[in-house]
Amino acid sequence: MALQMTLKQQRVCTRASSRQPFRAAPPAGRPRQCVVRVQATAAPNDLNSGLGFQTMRDGVKIAAQETLLTPRFYTTDFAEMEELFSQEINPHLDMGELDACLQEFRNDYNKCHFVRNETFKAAADKVTGATRKIFIEFLERSCTAEFSGFLLYKELARRLKTSSPAVAEMFLLMSRDEARHAGFLNKALSDFNLALDLGFLTKNRTYTYFKPKFIIYATFLSEKIGYWRYITIYRHLQRNPDNQLYPLFEYFENWCQDENRHGDFLAACLKARPELLNTWEAKLWSKFFCLSVYVTMYLNDHQRTAFYEALGLTTRQFNQHVIIETNKSTERLFPVVPDVEDPAFFELLNEMVDVNSKLVKLDADGNTPAFLKSLMKLPLQERLASLLIRILFCKEKQCGSVDIPSSAAAQQLAF
C-alpha cells in the first residue's frame, strides 16, 4: 500500500510513465533459506560487456551473491514488537515524542523531491569500464539496503495496525520513504541497463532473524550512518562539481534528512524500552552494535576504494569522518560507544583492512588450488578474528541521553 501510494505520488510529481519493478508483498515470520536458480546470460548492453555482470532477463540483473558484508533482509518477533508499542503494556512509551515524529513524517517534505530528469541516462552512458562496474555495484548495494528497510518497516506497519495504529502509521510512512529511495536507485540502475527485480528478491532472498531489541539498535545506527554517508558525499560534490559523474548525488541533501528523521523515530523507540539504554547489558550491546556497523562499513568501503576515488574522495578519510560523526550522534543516546577518536581505534581498523584485502585477493586468485587457498587463508582468518576480539575491548566512552533530567535534584541546578 505504501508502495502504491508512492508510485501514485511520483506520477503526480513527475508524470513518469514507467513503474518501478517491485510489487510483491513482503513476507512475514521466520527466516528461510532459498536457493535461487536462474538462467544466466551475458548482459546484452555493449557498455556492460566484459564487466562480469549476469542478467536473469533483458536489462534485469542477477543480484550479487550474499556474503557476511552484503546488505541483508530482516525479520523479527512481531508479537514482541506489539507489546513494545502497546500503550496498555508499556508505561514508558512517550506518545508525545512519537506524535512529534508522526507529524514530521506526515509533512512529507520530500514528496516531490525524487524527480528525475533527462541528464541521468546520458550521464550513465558516459560512465564506462571499471568505473561503470563499481558504480553499478554501489547502486545495487544501496538499492538493496534501502529496499531492506522498506520491507521491514512495511511489515511492522501491517502487524501493528490494530494494536498501535499511530506507531503503525509511522512505520508505514518510513516504508514510503524507503520505497522511494529504493525505487530511485533502481531507476538509476536501469540507466546502467541493469535494474534489480525487487519482487523476485522479496520472495527469494534469505531473511535474517533478529530479536526486536537488536533490530532497533541496528536500524537506529544504520539510519544515522546512512545520514552521514549521504550528506558527506553531497557536501564533497558540491565543493568539487567536476567529480559529479552522475546526477543521483545531487539528491542526497534532502534524501539524507529522511534518514535523519527515521533515526530520530528509532531513538524514541529505544527510549520506550529504558532497559535497552540503562543496564550493563545495554552498555555491552550498544558498543557491540556500534562496532559491528563501523567495522562492516570500513571493510566494505575499503574493498571498493575505486568508487570513492572516482568521486574524488579518499576512502579512509571519508569513512573515518562518517564514523566519527555517527558516533557523535549515537553518544547522545547510547550509554556506551567506542572511543573512535582514540588513535588505536583506526589503527586496528586499518590492520583489519590489510588482512581482509589479502583474503579477498586470495579468494580471487584463479591459479591457486582450492585446498591450498584454504590453508593459506587460515593464518589470515586467525589474525582477523584476533583483531575483531581486540576491537571489542577497545577504549570506550560512557555517555547517554542529553534530555533534561526531571528529578528534583536536577531541577535545583536550573538557573
Binding footprint of Fe ion, residue count (CB under 5 A): 6
Q: Interface with Fe ion includes 146 (CB under 5 A)? A: yes
Closer to Fe ion at the Cβ: 263 or 335? Answer: 263
In degrees rounded to 5, what are phi and psi of residue 29?
85, -145
Closer to Fe ion at the Cβ: 155 or 223? Answer: 223
Give min distance, CB of 261 to Fe ion, in A. 8
Closer to Fe ion at the Cβ: 113 or 316? Answer: 113
Find the binder of Fe ion among 158, 159, 176, 181 (CB under 5 A): 181
Residues 222 to 241 in contact with Fe ion, rule: CB under 5 A = 223
Burial class (CB within 10 angstroms; exposed 0-12, middle 13-18, buried 19+) of 153 = buried
Find the binder of Fe ion among 141, 180, 262, 302 (CB under 5 A): 262
Which positions from 272 to 311 touch Fe ion by CB under 5 A, shown as an x/- string? ----------------------------------------
Burial class (CB within 10 angstroms; exposed 0-12, middle 13-18, buried 19+) of 117 = exposed
What span, in angstroms and rounded, lies between the C-alpha atoms of 338 and 355?
22
Q: Torsion-angle region of residue 109: left (phi > 0), alpha (psi -120 to 50) or beta?
A: alpha
Give min distance, CB of 222 to Fe ion, in A. 8
- 26 within 8 A of 155, measured Cβ to Cβ: yes
Give min distance, CB of 218 to Fe ion, in A. 12
Which cell numbers in the block locate residue 185? Answer: 536507485
- 2 within 8 A of 157, measured Cβ to Cβ: yes
- 268 within 8 A of 98, measured Cβ to Cβ: yes
Give min distance, CB of 150 to Fe ion, in A. 8
Closer to Fe ion at the Cβ: 183 or 335? Answer: 183
Per-residue burial over 255-283, b = 16 or more CB atoms within 10 Å of its CB, e = otherwise: bbbbbbbbbbbbbbbbbbbeebbeeeebb
Closer to Fe ion at the Cβ: 254 or 300? Answer: 254
Give min distance, CB of 177 to Fe ion, in A. 6
Q: Which residues contribute to the site for Fe ion (CB under 5 A)?
A: 146, 178, 181, 223, 259, 262
